[in-house]
Chains A and B, each alone.
Chain A
Amino acid sequence: MNLPPSHLSRRDWLRQCATGFGSVALSHLLSQDALAGALQPKAPHFPAKAKRVIFLFMHGGPSQVDTFDYKPLLQRDHGKPLPFALPRVVSSKTGTLLRSPWNFSQHGQSGAWVSDLFPHLATCVDDLCFIHSMHCSNSRHGAAVLELCTGSDTFIRPSMGSWISYGLGTESQNLPSFITLCPNPSLGGSNAYGSAFLPADHQGTPVGNVTTPTSRAKIPFIENSEKTPLHLQREELDFLESLNRAHLQNRATDDRLEARIHSFELAFRMQASVPDLQDLSSESPQTQKAYGLDNPVTENFGRQCLLARRLIEQGVRFVQCSHSYKWDQHASLQKDHTRNAAEVDLPIAALLRDLRERGLLEDTLVLWGGEFGRTPVAQGGDGRDHNPHGYTMWMAGGGVRPGFRYGQTDDYGFYATENKVHVHDLHATMLHLLGMDHKRLTYRHAGRNFRLTDVHGHVVHDILA
């Protein structure tokens, strides 16, 4: 359905594609004769606060009660049984309440509580909008990752990055609209950044994967396997173009042929520009240091954060950084949460500051969090189980209320109790910030109009700036 039939002109095809999308600026779409019709920048439904998204994904499930959701009663009642019922479905056997091994203190004008795990981020709390009442439906990693990234823990659905790409297109000349840095190939895998039934142009382009250090992560196929010098490749591409131009005689009605000629030109431009983009040595020594590139602990995630900034500067619409599957502390909470936080704390604070200084934070939405949180009750002596019933995520920039805390969990941080925000609500709110009505961003597939939020989702108006 998504291929332009051979003699349908590009213009007709674009028009047809566009009818699937409510208030796309059709004239804008048609005014540009570029190859990637599906990726043309599109006007949102209404004026947007955010133009792009950086998602800092803490895969594994960071513990809310050890980071940002301070619970004095948990500290007090350490060792006592949970005074209310466990959920009907749990992942593992848990014991009594486990106090947080970290101290909490209040920070900034907003007085947000942050544990000792995040000393650098603590200096940024007045930029952050905490949602303490997140909840989702599934207590296992794979399903919860898919729910967070696609809205469904049951079916294969397009990912949020691909929905946003579909809704807004890309502003980059040389880059895909949705890039995911070093994703995990398992526990959701490529379905967590795939486009499912949306046109394939919108799928997330993985740059490296979890086994690749960020410094060596590459866009697929961008490196010539034989290290052929560029001017030789240019020679070959010119010859290829002459073959294709000759073939195009008498076939001019088929726009795909012309589009494919352009695709080689775009590929050549990408190939020339991407290595520079990924070469972080062009950043000032101060910037490199600020992101922690000089320290082996912070270097890897620091590169992701810095790369994210450079990618959005190039017009990429959605960048996902993955601190991949490190936060799953069923045991060894003290040691591993300490290490995890140390790896990301400084780079994230640097990213926020850098975005602010460059005037980018205003219209860039930064989202931080995992696929779920962790239980306030102990698993073993030094661990916590998965907890999809109440956890914290935060956002910054892009039209959210800075220095704000929204929603609550119960006294021990187990269940979201007040102003609960489901993952569907998070998606609806993100789309709203990007200028899109989650009920109108639809795609017709198998006889039905699908949306990111399925039949759910409410915009959380209280957290809008």
Chain B
Amino acid sequence: MKMFPPILASTTGCLWVLVQGLCQAEPPSAEALSFFESRIRPLLAERCYECHSQQKEVKGGLALDSRQGWEKGGDSGPALVPGKPSESLLIGAVEYHNKEMQMPPKKRLPDSEIALLVQWVNMGAPDPRDGAAPAPSEARVTDWETEKQFWAFQPVLRPEVPEVKNATWVNNPIDAFILARLEKEGLTPSAPASKETLLRRISLDLTGLPPTPEERKAFLDDARPDAFQRLVDRLLESPRYGERWGRHWLDVARYSDCNGMDENLTYHQAFRYRDYVVNSFQQDKPYDQFVREQIAGDLLPESAPGSRRERLIATGFLSIGPKMLAEDDPVKLQMDVIDEQVDSIGKAFLGMTFGCARCHDHKIDPIPTADYYALAGIFKSTRTMQKLSVVARWHERPLGTPEEVEAWNRHKTAFTEAGQALEKEKRAATQALPEAVRKAGGNLEKHFPEAVRLKLKAMREEGDRLATQFPPLDFAMAVEEAKPENIRIHYRGSHLTQGQEVSRGFPKILSHSQQTPPPENQSGRLQLADWLASPANPLTARVMVNRVWHWHFGAGIVRTPDYFGKLGERPTHPELLDWLADEFVRSGWSIKHLHRLIVGSATWRMSVSSSPKATQQDPENKLWSHFNRQRMDAESLRDSLLFVAGKLDLTQGGSLIPPSKNPMDGGRLSNVGKAVDPSLFQTNRRSLYLPVVRSEVYEVLSAFDFADPSTVSGERQSTIVAPQALFLMNHRFVAENARSMAEAILREESTDDARIQGLYLRVLGRTARPEEREAALRFLTRYSAAWTAAQPERTSEAGLRSWQSLCRSLLSSNEFLFVE
């Protein structure tokens, strides 16, 4: 476990020996030496040498078989302070006071032996054993020049667009990169998808909803050469686009409407961050600005009216992570919150796992612990939490004008004082009761004099009145600058074993020309935001273009979208990735520009069918010889079901969580012995507006692999399991939507042929072939007869039931669930 460069370590080591040597000018007395030899040396040998001697092992860098060994000490510093047992780490460890360091680990020493050690330290720790101090353990030298050669740390350089043989296939440079590889491997791109297929693909991709029959007709009838571009432009302007792509980012941002973990407090204000993300995508906010706002929005100058409000909300990214709010150790709690922030930033923006370096130098990637604590210092200097004592609470910031804030604060003071006055009154009345009554316990108030009870009642009513009459003022989960401070390296991640202090800063491996070090008097968040959002940062643009590619194609150019480190996947097309990253930055970090490029490519428009050769040679389709068939994600499935049933409520934004009665305490959506109220989810709003409850994700979404809202997730799983089938077969949600569809089609069309045609158009986006119509008609007859036989008293329902069953079959079909 190497904590700082060895050159520094050995220097300090030498100095220590030197200083200690000078201090120990006076040789120990014969009596002291005899005590050591008879009582201490055997004790150390028997109890400690096994793990702490140069002959056997030097765990934690500590050797106890020489004076120099304990003088230099292990990773946590000198083991003894002669004369001061209470300041000596070794004594603390054998006394088992500190849970992080209990020695010997298996069993506490007998009290008599501990007493001997204390006595020895009190005597000044006389020790005649001379020997060399052990070298720092597990020294690792980071060779920065070599490390920087790794592809992900290399600067982004715009590569030449390659020449290809079949130049007519190429729509834009993406295709040239893809085709050049295919040609080299002897593969040919699959044929373009049909217009009908493309329409369904692009609609679900950009908006998360299938096309309507009217949209289908309009597109198929549009013979203009730029019909597809026009379609893309229209979809990108649709409010459904921001909802769909904002939700992708919310996976990365581990968005949730409550804390999860232990104390599942409701995040009543989180929805503002969600709506901010949706709006940012909708407006095609430059991605570098989007990054800056989420890291340091509160510190950016006001650029337009309303921008301050929006930017405060943006810093919610730093606040909405899960926190252990009932941690009894406030220092650990704060470090855990900081860790969650550092780790999430690393994964979300850089594809790096900084979290590993909390406890030790990253074993794989060049992220030393010192770099971790340099970043952590920035967040130690940032106020994320309002209080750290159990139950802890995050910080919220008001969004109003100064006058509104002041009025609100005045009211809050009145409200708080009313509560205090009530408590005071109650205490006084309790004191006035006879002791026997007080001791008996139970509800004491019934023993109070009537006048007091009436007064208390009035005071309670006043409190309730004040609680409901707060002047309107919005709050956001947001951070704020705190006292700037550096922190010390925490060995093994524990704040109880600390090493040297580290200046706030950024990971060395990603140092680039456009960075400003954090000034002394600021947290460094603003500089961190600039450093992340710099075109010179080799990872930020690469990671984001890869995410966008992944969300379009179902797999990335780097197939580990949250991890670009050494054990991650290498890019399948490194030049394409760099070309896209460079193009992205040049376009002003425009996400919509990326969309247009990608969906405008011949690559994205290929059909899903692949040649036997491609299947054989490239089974994972890493060369993109065809499009990947994709299973709908959870939200697309739920939203599309509602949409084709004509029931989707397209209201945008806001919170579906009932406001809390107490403005000071948001309460919990689920609690000890209390499950989430299922009625929270009984709405026809789009899925992204459903409350995200970390401890209990809505079962319908979780059945279809909704992202774990507690961690950064750039990719969803896509399982096919029996509970999903059970959901479609049995759930009320599916039954009701199928029934609505059936009712509508029976109402709207007069012939069975037209009805079947209408259902196919709505659900599958295509017409039914004659044999499909025949099969559907036969099924309706069969089902209707079976229904009548089974429930003769409900024969009148047979027609509707059979149509409902037909609708559910189409909604359950592979053709509906998989996008081609």
Q: A interface vs B, CB < 8 Å? A: 1-3, 5-9, 12, 35-36, 85, 87-91, 137-143, 145-146, 153-156, 176, 184-191, 194, 196, 199-201, 205, 209-211, 219-226, 229, 231-233, 235-237, 239-240, 242-244, 246-248, 250-251, 253-254, 256-257, 259-261, 263-264, 266-268, 270-271, 324-325, 389, 410, 415, 417-420, 444, 446-448
- 18 CB contacts below 8 A, A to B, read A5-B555, A12-B619, A185-B696, A190-B702, A196-B711, A199-B717, A220-B727, A221-B723, A221-B730, A225-B735, A232-B805, A236-B809, A243-B813, A247-B814, A271-B729, A325-B673, A418-B106, A447-B353
Q: Which one, A7, A186, A257, contacts B670 given CB within 8 A?
A: A186
Are B726 and A267 touching (Cβ within 8 A)?
yes
B817 close to A (CB within 8 Å)? yes
Considering the chains assembled together, what is the distance between the CA atoms of A191 and B106 in angstroms?
Answer: 31
Are B673 and A231 touching (Cβ within 8 A)?
no
Q: Which one, B673, B731, B810, contacts A184 given CB within 8 A?
A: B673
Q: Check A91/B790 contact, CB under 8 A, given A8-B620, A191-B261.
A: no
Are B708 and A196 touching (Cβ within 8 A)?
yes
Q: Which one, A139, A251, A419, A448, contacts B353 given CB within 8 A?
A: A448
Considering the chains assembled together, what is the distance between the CA atoms of A124 and B732 in angstroms?
Answer: 46
Q: For residue B810, give the distance in angstroms from its CB to the closest CB of chain A.
A: 7
Q: Check A446/B786 contact, CB under 8 A, given A156-B710, A226-B735.
A: no
Are A417 and B708 touching (Cβ within 8 A)?
no
Q: Check A221/B695 contact, CB under 8 A, given A88-B98, A417-B107.
A: no
Q: For residue B393, give the distance in angstroms from its CB to the closest CB of chain A.
A: 15
Considering the chains assembled together, what is the distance between the CA atoms of A256 and B726 in angstroms?
Answer: 17
Considering the chains assembled together, what is the distance between the CA atoms of A266 and B724 in angstroms?
Answer: 11
Q: B interface vs A, CB < 8 Å? A: 95-99, 105-108, 260-264, 322, 324, 326-329, 336, 339, 347, 353, 355-356, 363-365, 390, 554-555, 559-560, 562-563, 565-568, 608-610, 614-615, 619-621, 626, 628-629, 631, 668, 670-676, 694-697, 699, 702-703, 705, 708, 710-711, 715, 717-727, 729-732, 735, 772, 775, 779, 782-783, 786-787, 790-791, 805-806, 808-810, 812-815, 817-818
Q: Which residue of A lies closest to B620 (CB)?
A: A5
Considering the chains assembled together, what is the distance between the CA atoms of A2 and B178 in angstroms?
Answer: 24
Residues in A with CB closer than 8 Å to B694 are 189, 191
Residues in A with CB closer than 8 Å to B735 are 225-226
Considering the chains assembled together, what is the distance between the CA atoms of A268 and B729 in angstroms?
Answer: 9
Are B260 and A191 touching (Cβ within 8 A)?
yes
Q: Check A256/B673 contact, CB under 8 A, given A263-B725, A271-B726.
A: no
Q: Check A211/B673 contact, CB under 8 A, given A185-B696, A191-B710, A419-B106.
A: yes
Considering the chains assembled together, what is the distance between the CA atoms of A420 and B96 in angstroms?
Answer: 13
Are A137 and B695 touching (Cβ within 8 A)?
no
Q: Check A447/B568 contact, CB under 8 A, given A199-B717, A221-B726.
A: yes
Are B560 and A143 touching (Cβ within 8 A)?
no
Q: For residue A424, give the distance in angstroms from its CB to the closest CB of chain B.
A: 13
Q: For residue A138, give the distance in angstroms from its CB to the closest CB of chain B.
A: 7
Q: Which one, A196, A237, A410, contacts B729 given CB within 8 A?
A: A237
Are A263 and B722 touching (Cβ within 8 A)?
yes
Are A221 and B99 touching (Cβ within 8 A)?
no
Q: For residue A3, give the distance in angstroms from its CB to the closest CB of chain B.
A: 4
Q: Check A446/B729 contact, CB under 8 A, given A5-B619, A263-B724.
A: no
Considering the chains assembled together, what is the distance between the CA atoms of A7 and B720 in angstroms?
Answer: 16
Residues in A with CB closer than 8 Å to B772 are 246
Are A142 and B99 touching (Cβ within 8 A)?
no
Q: Which one, A139, A189, A235, contacts B264 given CB within 8 A?
A: A189
Are A185 and B560 touching (Cβ within 8 A)?
no
Considering the chains assembled together, what is the distance between the CA atoms of A264 and B721 in angstroms?
Answer: 9
Q: Which residue of A lies closest to B671 (CB)?
A: A186
Known: A140-B327, A264-B729, A446-B353. 9 other contacts (CB 8 A): A88-B329, A140-B390, A186-B673, A187-B262, A200-B721, A201-B719, A220-B727, A221-B703, A263-B725
Q: Which one, A155, A176, A266, A447, contacts B725 given CB within 8 A?
A: A266
Considering the chains assembled together, what is the distance between the CA atoms of A189 and B256 in angstroms?
Answer: 14
Considering the chains assembled together, what is the distance between the CA atoms of A201 and B727 in angstroms?
Answer: 16
Are B814 and A211 touching (Cβ within 8 A)?
no
Say what secondary structure dominates the interface of chain A. Answer: loop
Q: Which of A229, A240, A324, A415 has the most CB of B within 10 A?
A: A240
Are A231 and B786 touching (Cβ within 8 A)?
yes
Are A263 and B730 touching (Cβ within 8 A)?
no
Considering the chains assembled together, what is the distance between the CA atoms of A226 and B790 in angstroms?
Answer: 14
Considering the chains assembled together, what is the distance between the CA atoms of A90 and B329 in angstroms?
Answer: 8
Are B670 and A5 touching (Cβ within 8 A)?
no
Considering the chains assembled together, what is the distance between the CA atoms of A137 and B494 in angstroms?
Answer: 12
Residues in A with CB closer than 8 Å to B264 are 186, 189
Considering the chains assembled together, what is the distance between the CA atoms of A270 and B783 in angstroms?
Answer: 23
Residues in A with CB closer than 8 Å to B719 are 2-3, 199-201
Are B721 and A263 touching (Cβ within 8 A)?
yes
Are A270 and B722 touching (Cβ within 8 A)?
yes
Q: Check A420/B364 contact, CB under 8 A, given A190-B697, A253-B615, A257-B818.
A: no
Considering the chains assembled together, what is the distance between the CA atoms of A36 and B720 in angstroms?
Answer: 8
Are A231 and B675 touching (Cβ within 8 A)?
no
Considering the chains assembled together, what is the distance between the CA atoms of A154 and B334 in angstroms?
Answer: 12
Are A236 and B559 touching (Cβ within 8 A)?
no
Q: Which residue of B lies closest to A3 (CB)?
A: B718
Q: For residue A323, give the distance in angstroms from its CB to the closest CB of chain B.
A: 12
Q: Which residue of B lies closest to A264 (CB)?
A: B725
Are A220 and B619 touching (Cβ within 8 A)?
no
Q: Which one, A89, A251, A267, A325, contacts B672 given CB within 8 A?
A: A325
Q: Which one, B261, B567, B614, B626, contacts A146 given CB within 8 A?
A: B261
Residues in A with CB closer than 8 Å to B628 are 5-6
Q: Which residue of B lies closest to A198 (CB)?
A: B717
Are B672 and A143 touching (Cβ within 8 A)?
no
Q: Which residue of A lies closest to B325 (CB)?
A: A142
Considering the chains assembled together, what is the distance between the CA atoms of A146 and B565 in angstroms?
Answer: 28
Are B324 and A240 touching (Cβ within 8 A)?
no
Q: Which residue of B lies closest to A140 (CB)?
A: B326
Q: Which one, B559, B695, B717, B812, contacts A188 given CB within 8 A?
A: B695
Q: For residue B176, give the distance in angstroms from its CB to the closest CB of chain A.
A: 24
Q: Which of B365, B721, B806, B813 has the most CB of A within 10 A?
A: B721
Considering the chains assembled together, what is the distance between the CA atoms of A186 and B675 in angstroms?
Answer: 8
Are A142 and B263 touching (Cβ within 8 A)?
yes
Residues in B with CB closer than 8 Å to A239 are 775, 779, 783, 805-806, 809
Are A229 and B790 touching (Cβ within 8 A)?
yes
Q: Which of B326, B676, B772, B808 has the most CB of A within 10 A?
A: B326
Considering the chains assembled together, what is the distance between the CA atoms of A419 and B722 in angstroms?
Answer: 45
Q: Which residue of B lies closest to A203 (CB)?
A: B702
Q: Which residue of A lies closest to B610 (CB)?
A: A7
Are A235 and B670 touching (Cβ within 8 A)?
no
Q: For residue B675, give the distance in angstroms from its CB to the closest CB of chain A.
A: 5
Q: For residue A379, give the distance in angstroms from its CB to the closest CB of chain B.
A: 14
Are B96 and A153 touching (Cβ within 8 A)?
no
Are B731 and A221 touching (Cβ within 8 A)?
yes
Q: For residue B258, give the distance in angstroms from its CB to the closest CB of chain A.
A: 10
Q: Which residue of B lies closest to A138 (CB)?
A: B327
Residues in B with CB closer than 8 Å to A8 are 619-620
Q: Check A231/B614 contact, CB under 8 A, given A263-B725, A419-B106.
A: no
Residues in A with CB closer than 8 Å to B729 are 221, 224, 233, 237, 264, 267-268, 271
Considering the chains assembled together, what is the distance between the CA atoms of A230 and B364 in angstroms?
Answer: 55
Are B786 and A235 touching (Cβ within 8 A)?
yes
Considering the chains assembled together, what is the distance between the CA atoms of A453 and B73 in angstroms?
Answer: 29
Considering the chains assembled together, what is the distance between the CA atoms of A247 and B262 in angstroms?
Answer: 47
Q: Check A89/B717 contact, CB under 8 A, given A5-B620, A220-B699, A448-B364.
A: no
Residues in B with CB closer than 8 Å to A189 are 260, 264, 670, 694-696
Q: Check A6/B723 contact, CB under 8 A, given A141-B326, A188-B695.
A: no
State the 4 A-B residue pairs at the shortest beta-carbon distance, nearest first. Answer: A142-B262, A189-B695, A447-B567, A267-B725
Q: Check A235/B783 contact, CB under 8 A, given A201-B719, A229-B790.
A: yes
Are A417 and B779 touching (Cβ within 8 A)?
no
Q: For residue B360, give the distance in angstroms from its CB to the closest CB of chain A.
A: 9
